[in-house]
């Protein structure tokens, strides 16, 4: 609340819902500004309200989804000043004309409907979706995608960059986010973390191993799990990459 007062209450910036902008966040004309690195996390946090359904004056689900996807793109413009480690084979899912890069939603939960989470949105990357298991009334939201290399690739590290806003993690259900690889000929390795412990916001996650001949890569970002009702939360996976010792990409 501004100006300051003793009984200030937090609320959104808009007194009432506003109509969604018609254009993309980087469409001309544009304005360039310089922002101190120290302020970037606060700017991203403030922009998260644009993901709220209540911010937008529309009853059209498609128009609402488009506004939220564009809000993700806007937030992605305000990255941390520090840069992640350089990888020889980076891929930006959210780049102009980018596609899913050989990844597909991972069908590993046949008792859930649908038996996968995550959908590719052009210009945005992979975004979280929800699945439900009727027998346990369990809902979970997130992204879980897999890429199979028809010809195994020698690599020693994998990274992913994503934007996370966690919802509810309830019921003591253990669920891990992270990077998982399968080696040609059998076996594999992973770097995973208990999903509720990941911070909100834009972040990088890396798995270093090998080098090894990799035939399968799986990326997981969970944003919520709950019994009897939707856990909420959102996730956007906008970049991944792998490192090939000596260079070259498969």
Q: Which CATH number does the domain housing residue 233 bear?
A: 2.60.120
51 within some domain: yes
Q: Of 31, 62, 82, which marks where a domain is finished?
A: 82
**Cβ distance 93 to 143 under 8 Å?**
no
Say yes or no: 18 and 141 in one domain: no
Region 227-239: what's the mean pLDDT? 93
Say yes or no: 111 and 234 in one domain: yes
226 within some domain: yes
Say yes or no: 70 and 144 in one domain: no
169 within some domain: yes
Measuring CA to CA, which residue among 209, 194, 198 is closest to residue 161? Answer: 198
The number of folded domains in the chain is: 2
pLDDT reading at 168 higher than 60: yes
249 within some domain: no
pLDDT reading at 181 higher than 90: yes
Q: How many whole angstroms separate alpha carbon 105 and alpha carbon 219?
A: 10
pLDDT at 56: 84
Say yes or no: 107 and 78 in one domain: no
Give φ, ψ of 179 to 5 degrees. Answer: -120, 130
**Cβ distance 118 to 103 under 8 Å?**
no
pLDDT reading at 12 higher than 70: no
Region 116-139: what's the mean pLDDT? 94
CA distances for 124 relative to 31, 45, 95, 170, 206, angstroms: 21, 18, 8, 29, 21
250 within some domain: no
pLDDT at 50: 81
pLDDT reading at 4 higher than 50: no
Region 28-43: what's the mean pLDDT? 72
Say yes or no: 235 and 123 in one domain: yes
CB atoms within 10 A of CB 19: 10
Q: Which residues contact 112 (CB under 8 A, 6 or more apart)?
A: 131, 132, 133, 138, 140
Say yes or no: 191 and 216 in one domain: yes
Region 73-101: what's the mean pLDDT? 80
pLDDT at 39: 77
Q: Of 51, 82, 113, which marks where a domain is finished?
A: 82
Say yes or no: 53 and 175 in one domain: no
248 within some domain: no
pLDDT at 3: 45
Q: Tens of pLDDT along 236-247? A: 999 999 999 877
pLDDT at 85: 56
**Cβ distance 115 to 133 under 8 Å?**
no
pLDDT reading at 219 higher than 50: yes
Say yes or no: 218 and 156 in one domain: yes
Strand bridging mode 176-183 / 201-227: antiparallel
Say yes or no: 96 and 148 in one domain: yes
- Comparing 39-53, 84-98, 204-218, the range with the smallest average pLDDT is 39-53
Measuring CA to CA, which residue among 204, 215, 208, 198 is closest to residue 242? Answer: 208
Q: How many whole angstroms separate alpha carbon 211 and alpha carbon 154?
A: 7
Report helix, strand or coil for 197. Answer: helix
| Gyration radius from the chain CA atoms | 19
195 within some domain: yes
CB atoms within 10 A of CB 187: 9
pLDDT at 38: 65
Q: pLDDT class for 54, splitting at 50, 70, 90?
A: confident
145 within some domain: yes
Region 115-119: what's the mean pLDDT? 94
pLDDT at 74: 81
- pTM for this one? 0.67
Q: Of 82, 114, 145, which marks where a domain is finished?
A: 82
Q: What is the mean pLDDT of the chain?
A: 85
Say yes or no: 226 and 121 in one domain: yes
CB atoms within 10 A of CB 224: 25
pLDDT at 2: 41
User: What DSSP state is assigned to residue 114?
Assistant: S
Q: Tens of pLDDT along 89-106? A: 999 999 888 999 999 999
Say yes or no: 163 and 219 in one domain: yes
Name the more confident of 182 and 8: 182
| Host domain of residue 138 | 89-243
Q: How many whole angstroms separate alpha carbon 50 and alpha carbon 209?
A: 38
Say yes or no: 44 and 105 in one domain: no
């Amino acid at each position: 609340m501004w100006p300051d007062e003793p009984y200030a209450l937090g609320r959104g910036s808009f007194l009432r819902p506003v109509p969604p902008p018609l254009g993309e966040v980087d469409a001309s004309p544009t304005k360039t500004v310089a922002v101190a690195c120290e302020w970037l996390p606060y700017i991203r946090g403030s922009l998260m309200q644009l993901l709220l359904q209540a911010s937008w004056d529309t009853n059209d689900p498609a128009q609402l989804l488009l506004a939220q996807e564009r809000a993700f793109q806007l937030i992605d413009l305000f990255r941390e000043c520090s840069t992640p480690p350089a990888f020889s084979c980076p891929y930006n899912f959210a780049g102009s004309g980018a596609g899913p890069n050989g990844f597909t939603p991972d069908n590993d939960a046949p008792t859930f409907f649908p038996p996968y989470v995550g959908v590719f949105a052009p210009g945005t990357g992979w975004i979280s979706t929800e699945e439900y298991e009727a027998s346990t009334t369990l809902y979970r939201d997130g992204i879980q995608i897999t890429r199979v290399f028809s010809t195994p690739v020698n690599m020693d590290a994998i990274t992913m960059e994503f934007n996370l806003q966690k919802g509810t993690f309830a019921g003591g259900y253990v669920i891990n986010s992270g990077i998982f690889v399968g080696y040609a000929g059998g076996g594999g390795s992973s770097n995973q973390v208990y999903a509720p412990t990941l911070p909100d916001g834009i972040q990088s996650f890396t798995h270093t191993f090998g080098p090894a001949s990799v035939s399968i890569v799986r990326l997981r970002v969970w944003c919520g799990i709950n019994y009897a009702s939707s856990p909420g939360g959102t996730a956007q996976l906008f970049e991944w990459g792998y490192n090939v010792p000596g260079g070259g990409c498969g």
